[in-house]
């Protein structure tokens, strides 16, 4: 890879969350590590510079910055993206609203007045969606030529009505993109300066998902590109001469140039960093099956790690009907975070989230003007968060203000401040446990074979209760959990994913065509990386195919175990698909031919190979003091020991109930549980024996 900035010693991971921005730095020369946490800022580039200041590292001394941000997801969730237009094949402009005509089972399942999410809060208003006369057939031939005048008229109309970004997605463009390319050229000529995206972004089958992907990219692309431009300017002003890497949702990093080609694949780059760190930890400590629980300020992100492998999905859904089609790290989210506001649900019961106090004003106990109680306020009231130990002592919590806010809110149910705090804590833990079940038990995984891995600064204060609800045997708290996702950024490899949809039967006669298609993608990736100044000496390729039985309408992604496709390799490949289908669905149909719909290539270039450690030895007594703690579910407060994690010696047992405090996190150990530090400096929570 590029050796730009190699004269400097520091590599830094910076993960922007909804409330806090986490940072960890590793000096490659001395081995020193530094970690920190600052409140997130509206202009995230300001927070990045503040994060570097927090760990006392000069920008000019940094060789590499690996960055996960929330610019795209913030724009999407708040519907504050660009005013976007869509050019679709005539007759298909309502595809974003129609979707696949399914709905989630729940309270709206039988409601005839229910509107699909995109109809309620459209990314592209219907008035800005235009059907263009054109038609490419499934074999790539032109059935109806592109009406260039219609494209030009649409672009002029867009420009006159304030549209600044345009998505172009036509039928069957994955097999022949000529109409999309020409339409994009016309739009660029007619609307100078507009952001234009086509399905060249990821040219595969599934028209609805492909259209959604392109539309979402057009919606968030200007904001993401604008942010990355501002970030580079801000860093350059501080004499940054190193390399800036951006975390992508495929589990790897990209150059800024590569990231700007696909802004939509950065929507949840921070949580992906946490999964990356988890897979490395799983390999390092031998706990190959892990359920992750990343509790941030606005939400909790969860994933299931099986066999120490990164979980991937080729259909990542933000909300029903808004689905990305590209193999991305499979992370689920629930709106119960540390800053989530305690309120009423539709049935009048206590709920936690999805509204969040964010970093400004933040929870009431921050003393920054917040008035509505949050989960953080509940934990402060219960004693789980010690006011003088929070955020390494940089922010003293106002427990009295939290209790007052809880009391005001609790009156509607006749609950005291402490009763509401305990109820909110239980509700949040139940919500998180339910989301973890959805990506584990509901997919056929035996949760008894997994340990729970909490991170994010708020993860450890909830983890033992979530583990109890789930019935898992062990909870593993990593060192410096608040910076765990930032740690994962440092260890993430460079990854570039490309795909094509040749639509061929898996038979020996097509082997050469399939191999040539793979080679074309690989050559394209190499040329692209070299044009960005990236060394490809250590590059390797991972291949996958999307296949289905002939006559089916839905394909499945299957990794390839062979480095090349030859006529001799086709029969074993077909047998692999039958086994894959049997494992996935409980049956196979070996008498039906297999059709390959798409191929995928991911280039991988390894980066850092050693996980930095933030453990700081401390020879003092681990017992800091005792404190009053109301364990959710108990009637009275208990006097419990408060231990300092950095002073706990390996294998010294701490019996629950207890608190284990570290720089940016507090771990609650429930009654009947025990905690200890193992030889890998992991904090282990398990049943007393």
User: How far apart, in whole angstroms, are the C-alpha atoms of residue 535 and residue 547?
Assistant: 33
- Which of 199, 195, 219 minimizes the C-alpha distance to 209? 199
> In degrees rounded to 5, what are phi and psi of residue 478?
-70, 165
Tokens representing 520 are 């074309």
* For residues 119-146, average pLDDT: 95
pLDDT of residue 635: 66
pLDDT of residue 5: 38
Residue 345 lies in a domain: no
Residue 286 lies in a domain: no
Tokens representing 624 are 């800091």
Residue 419 lies in a domain: no
CATH code for position 508 = 3.30.1490
Residue 154 belongs to what domain range?
Answer: 81-217
CATH code for position 158 = 3.40.50
pTM over cut 0.75: yes
Residue 538 lies in a domain: yes
Q: Tell whether 189 and 124 lie within a shared domain.
A: yes
Q: Tell whether 89 and 213 lie within a shared domain.
A: yes
CATH code for position 53 = 3.30.420.40
pLDDT of residue 397: 94
Residue 256 lies in a domain: yes
Q: Tell whether 515 and 580 lie within a shared domain.
A: yes
Q: Tell whether 181 and 118 lie within a shared domain.
A: yes
Band of the pLDDT at 688, cuts 50, 70, 90? Answer: confident
pLDDT of residue 3: 43
Tokens representing 634 are 């108990």
Place of tokens 């988890």: 278
Res 536 pLDDT > 50? yes
Q: Could you give the C-alpha distances from 9 to 14, 57, 58, 217, 334, in angstroms and in order? A: 16, 10, 11, 35, 38
Largest CA distance in the chain: 79
pLDDT in tens, 37-83: 888 888 999 999 999 999 999 999 999 999 999 898 888 888 899 99
Give the helix/strand (H/E) hosting 494.
strand 494-500
Q: Could you give the C-alpha distances from 490 to 4, 11, 68, 243, 461, in angstroms and in order? A: 16, 7, 11, 13, 25
Q: Tell whether 633 and 594 lie within a shared domain.
A: no
pLDDT in tens, 551-596: 998 899 999 988 889 999 999 999 999 999 998 888 999 999 999 9
User: How far apart, in whole angstroms, are the C-alpha atoms of residue 245 and residue 566?
Assistant: 36
Res 154 pLDDT > 70? yes
Give the helix/strand (H/E) hosting 540.
strand 540-549
How far is CA 587 from its chain centroid?
Answer: 32
3-state secondary structure 76-89: HHCCCCCCEEEEEE
> In degrees rounded to 5, what are phi and psi of residue 271?
-55, -30
Q: Positive or negative, the Cα torsion across 116, 117, 122, 124?
A: negative
> In degrees rounded to 5, what are phi and psi of residue 197?
-130, 140
Q: Provide the domain count of the chain.
A: 4
Q: Tell whether 210 and 230 lie within a shared domain.
A: no
Query: CB–CB of 132/88 below 8 Å?
Result: yes
How far is CA 79 from its chain centroid?
Answer: 18
Q: Tell whether 30 and 93 lie within a shared domain.
A: no
Residue 334 lies in a domain: no
Q: Tell whether 107 and 199 lie within a shared domain.
A: yes
Residue 312 lies in a domain: no
Instruction: Give 597-612 as a DSSP string.
Output: EEEEEEEEE----S--
* Nearby residues of 457 by Cβ (< 8 Å), 6 or more positions away: 20, 22, 37, 295, 338, 391, 481, 482, 664, 665
pLDDT of residue 1: 45
Q: Tell whether 95 and 155 lie within a shared domain.
A: yes
Q: Tell whether 105 and 231 lie within a shared domain.
A: no
The secondary structure of residue 266, as a DSSP letter, is: G
Give the helix/strand (H/E) hosting 329.
strand 322-329
User: How far apart, in whole angstroms, are the C-alpha atoms of residue 398 and residue 366?
Assistant: 6
Q: Tell whether 114 and 195 lie within a shared domain.
A: yes
pLDDT of residue 613: 56
Q: What is the CA radius of gyration of the chain?
A: 26
User: How far apart, in whole angstroms, are the C-alpha atoms of residue 342 and residue 339?
Assistant: 9
Q: Tell whether 143 and 92 lie within a shared domain.
A: yes
Residue 672 lies in a domain: yes
pLDDT in tens, 233-281: 999 999 999 999 999 998 899 999 999 999 999 988 878 888 989 998 9
């Amino acid at each position: 890879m590029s050796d730009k900035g190699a004269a400097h010693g520091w590599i830094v991971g910076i993960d922007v969350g909804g409330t806090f921005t986490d940072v960890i730095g590793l000096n490659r020369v001395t081995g020193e590590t530094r970690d920190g946490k600052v409140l997130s800022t509206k202009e995230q580039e300001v927070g990045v510079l503040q994060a570097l200041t927090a760990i006392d590292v000069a920008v000019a001394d940094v060789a590499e910055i690996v960055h996960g941000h929330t610019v795209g997801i913030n724009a999407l969730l708040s519907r504050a993206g660009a005013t976007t237009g869509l050019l679709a094949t005539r007759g298909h402009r309502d595809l974003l609203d129609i979707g696949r005509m399914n709905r989630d089972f729940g309270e709206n399942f039988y409601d005839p007045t229910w509107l699909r999410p995109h109809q309620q809060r459209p990314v592209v208003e219907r008035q800005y969606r235009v059907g263009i006369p054109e038609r490419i057939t499934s074999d790539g031939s032109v059935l109806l030529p592109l009406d260039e005048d219609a494209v030009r008229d649409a672009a002029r109309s867009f420009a006159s009505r304030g549209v600044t970004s345009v998505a172009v997605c036509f039928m069957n463009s994955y097999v022949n993109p000529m109409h999309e390319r020409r339409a994009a050229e016309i739009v660029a000529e007619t609307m100078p300066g507009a952001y234009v995206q086509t399905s060249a972004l990821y040219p595969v089958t599934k028209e609805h998902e492909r259209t959604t992907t392109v539309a979402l990219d057009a919606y968030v692309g200007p904001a993401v590109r604008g942010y990355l431009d501002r970030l580079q300017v801000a860093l350059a002003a501080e004499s940054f001469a190193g390399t800036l890497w951006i975390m992508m949702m495929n589990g790897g990093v990209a150059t800024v140039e590569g990231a700007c080609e696909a802004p939509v694949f950065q929507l949840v780059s921070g949580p992906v960093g946490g999964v990356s760190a988890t897979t490395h930890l799983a390999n390092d400590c031998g706990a190959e099956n892990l359920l992750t629980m990343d509790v941030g300020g606005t939400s909790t992100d969860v994933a299931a790690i099986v066999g120490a492998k990164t979980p991937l999905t080729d259909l990542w859904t933000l909300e029903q009907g808004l689905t990305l089609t590209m193999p991305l790290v499979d992370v689920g989210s629930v709106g119960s975070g540390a800053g989530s506001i305690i309120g009423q649900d539709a049935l009048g019961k206590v709920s936690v989230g999805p509204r969040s106090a964010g970093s400004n004003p933040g929870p009431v106990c921050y003393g920054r003007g917040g008035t509505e109680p949050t989960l953080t306020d509940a934990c402060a009231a219960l004693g789980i968060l010690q006011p003088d130990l929070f955020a390494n002592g940089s922010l003293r919590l106002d427990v009295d203000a939290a209790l007052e806010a809880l009391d005001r809110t609790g009156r509607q149910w006749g609950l005291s401040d402490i009763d509401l705090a305990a109820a909110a804590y239980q509700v949040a833990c139940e919500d998180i446990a339910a989301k973890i079940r959805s990506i584990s038990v509901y997919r056929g995984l035996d949760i008894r074979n997994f340990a729970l891995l909490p991170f994010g600064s708020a993860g450890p204060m909830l983890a033992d209760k979530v583990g109890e609800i789930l019935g898992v045997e062990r909870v593993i708290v990593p060192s410096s959990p608040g910076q765990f996702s930032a740690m994962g950024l440092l260890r993430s490899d460079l990854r570039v994913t490309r795909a094509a949809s040749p639509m061929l039967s898996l038979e020996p006669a097509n082997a050469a065509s399939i191999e040539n298609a793979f080679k074309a993608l690989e050559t394209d990736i190499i040329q692209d990386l070299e044009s960005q100044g990236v060394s490809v000496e250590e590059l390797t390729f991972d291949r996958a195919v999307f296949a289905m039985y002939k006559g089916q309408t839905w394909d499945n992604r299957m990794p390839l175990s062979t480095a090349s496709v030859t006529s001799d390799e086709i029969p074993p490949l077909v047998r692999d698909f039958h086994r894959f289908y049997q494992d996935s669905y409980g049956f196979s149909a070996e008498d039906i031919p297999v059709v390959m719909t798409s191929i995928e290539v991911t280039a991988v270039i390894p980066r850092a190979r050693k996980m930095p450690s933030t453990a700081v030895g401390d020879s003092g007594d681990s017992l800091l003091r005792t404190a009053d703690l109301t364990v959710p579910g108990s009637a009275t407060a208990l006097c419990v020991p408060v231990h300092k994690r950095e002073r706990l010696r390996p294998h010294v047992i701490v019996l629950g109930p207890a608190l284990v405090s570290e720089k940016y996190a507090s771990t609650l150990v429930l009654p009947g549980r025990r905690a200890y530090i193992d030889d890998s400096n992991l904090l282990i929570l398990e049943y007393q024996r």
